[in-house]
Amino acid sequence: MTAITTDEKDRLDFDWQTTKRLAHYLTPNKTRIYWALFASLISAVANVVGPPIIGWAVDQGVHTQNLSVVGLGVFGYLATQGIGALAFRIQITLMAQAGQRAIQDLRDDLFSHIQHLSISFFAKYETGRLIARIINDVNTLREAITWAVVGTFRDLLSLIGVVITMLLINLPLTFVAFAVLVVLAFVANVWRVYARTTYLRVVETNSKLNAELAEAFNGVRVTQAFNRQAHNLGRFNTTFNERNRAANLRATLVASLFFPSIELIGGVATGLMIYVGGTLVLQQQLSIFTLLTFVLYIDQFFQPIRQLAQRYNLFQSVMAAGDKLFHLLDRPIEISDQPGADTLPRITGAVQFDHVNFRYDTEDEDAPVLHDVSLDVPAGTTVALVGHTGAGKSTMIKLIMRFHDVVDGTVKIDGVYVRNVAQTSLRSQMGVVLQETYLFSGTVMDNIRYGRLNATDEEVIEAAQAVGAHDFISALEKGYHTEVREGGSLLSQGQKQLLAFARALLADPRILILDEATSNIDTQTEKLIQTALARLLEGRTSFVIAHRLSTIVNSDLIVVMDHGRIIEQGSHLELLAKNGAYAGMYTMI
């Protein structure tokens, strides 16, 4: 089961800091919000003045038997309600516009920030949780901005206006309404406690459900390969979906007990009002106008209370969603440019490791991944990194690209410390092909051009020809304009790898990195690209990680690693002559 970590715990209490930061996204639309507030004021006033108009029309019209007075009252009531409805529509429209703009800005900030977070972050934070943050939590804020922000202001104004008007018209009947309000406050407080607990459970189960869905769909090929569909369905249903259903049913039950209770209390209040008011009318201590006005006000008295109670759920979800979103936005970017970082000029590709020590952020401080690594790579050299799994080969590549920073020592390119230059100027001069190739939705040409967005069609085709991908691309239904579909499902693993080669080579990198790049290519395809790679790698510094030693025998320099240390280095023939670790690995082929 996916555990909810510290940053996933929900804060449902009012947080002024979170509220201010949410309000910041509304600042560019403050003019719309001011007009929306004004419209809500008009709407609230229209609601408050409606009952006295009806009361006056009935009282005066019936008393004087003047139908024109009744008609005038009905016309006045309809006019005020029409104005109120128009104002309410303007309020919703303006807040929807402001809310959508704020949500767009927030999503842009989240997307931009997440893209710059360190690689280690994505190893710890599940994709499903990230999607839940950007989609579900942001949508919660959109709903709150569109409906709750100004709507709450409108409800409060209506409630205040109704209370003041009731106090001015008749004090005893107002006390009757307030007596019922005490009961309502008690019921609301009890409900608040249960609502908080149930909502926390709903959010928690939703987060776990999203994480499980992302993991299941990403690993669907493995699931089918091992025939684990039934097992996964059982796990999903009982562990995640069933708990989510139970949490939502519990929340629904709590809501179904509370809101009908409010309706019942409102009905009791109306009954008491009619009884007390009717008694006073019979005793000629109260006019029909006053009684009718109060009866009409009862609904308007409880309506904003019902709305505010419903928004309590939304208020809690906003606090929880806002806290998690800003926690994500506040997560520090571990690898960032130093102030005033220089732009790295076009490099020749000389790489130097000088007594480098590195460890990942783990509890075991005594387990370095790299220990006192020193290596000089002249520009244009093809370097092969070999060794057992976990020897530190991929870590050296990550340090060159500055996906991580060293603990001790330095990594330099052309004599320049990589921490002193802007990351964009560093990585823009590098090309990388990984073992697992990721293709984006779009055409074959779009995916190759991802290495250099301003490349012409002719340059894309030239890169594909150079790595031996042109023939199979041309055989596709629409050639270079064929849609590769999600994850490149249309292509074989070898074909996807060839596209990755073309993508990297099109970028014309000064340093080319091949991390197990030929592991998914069959022997025939591998022979096809060897000649092209030899020609294209000429004049570039390249780092090749490969477990198949037959693919790196022609490398200029072979570096043998073991438990984070360089234990041997030299050419293929030199290392064989030493009869050491490399020779032992090579003879096992």
Q: What is the 3-state secondary structure (H, E, C) of 374-435?
A: EEEECCCCEEEEEECCCCCHHHHHHHHCCCCCCCEEEEEECCEEHHHECHHHHHCCEEEECC
- Rounded Cα distance between 350 and 539, Å, is 11
Neighbours of 336 (CB within 10 A): 12
Name the phi and psi angles at 355, rounded to 5: 50, 55
- Three-state DSSP at 227 gives coil
Residue among 477, 497, 480 at smallest CA distance from 488:
497
Q: Residue 385: its pLDDT value, please?
A: 93
Q: Residue 35: its pLDDT value, please?
A: 92
- Rounded Cα distance between 150 and 36, Å, is 7
The low-confidence residues of the chain, meaning pLDDT below 50, are 1-9, 363-364
Domain at 351-587, CATH from 3.90.650.10, 3.40.50.300, 3.40.50.12780, 3.90.1170.50: 3.40.50.300
**What is the tens place of the pLDDT at every residue in 213-243?**
877 877 776 777 777 788 888 888 888 888 8
**What is the tens place of the pLDDT at every residue in 425-455?**
998 898 888 777 778 878 999 999 987 888 9
Q: Residue 367: its pLDDT value, please?
A: 64
Residue among 126, 109, 11 at smallest CA distance from 329:
109
Residue 166: exposed, middle, or buried by beta-carbon count in 10 A (0-12, 13-18, 19+)? buried
Q: Residue 2: its pLDDT value, please?
A: 38
Residue 194: exposed, middle, or buried by beta-carbon count in 10 A (0-12, 13-18, 19+)? middle
- Rounded Cα distance between 171 and 498, Å, is 84
* Third-level CATH fold of 12-329: ABC transporter transmembrane region fold (1.20.1560)
Whether pTM > 0.75 for this model: the answer is no
- Rounded Cα distance between 437 and 8, Å, is 31
Neighbours of 201 (CB within 10 A): 18
Q: Residue 363: its pLDDT value, please?
A: 46
Through-space distance between the first and last CA atoms of the chain, rounded to whole angstroms: 41
The DSSP H or E segment spanning 158 is helix 149-169
- Three-state DSSP at 219 gives coil
Domain boundaries, the chain: 12-329, 351-587
**Cβ 448 vs Cβ 495: under 8 Å:** no
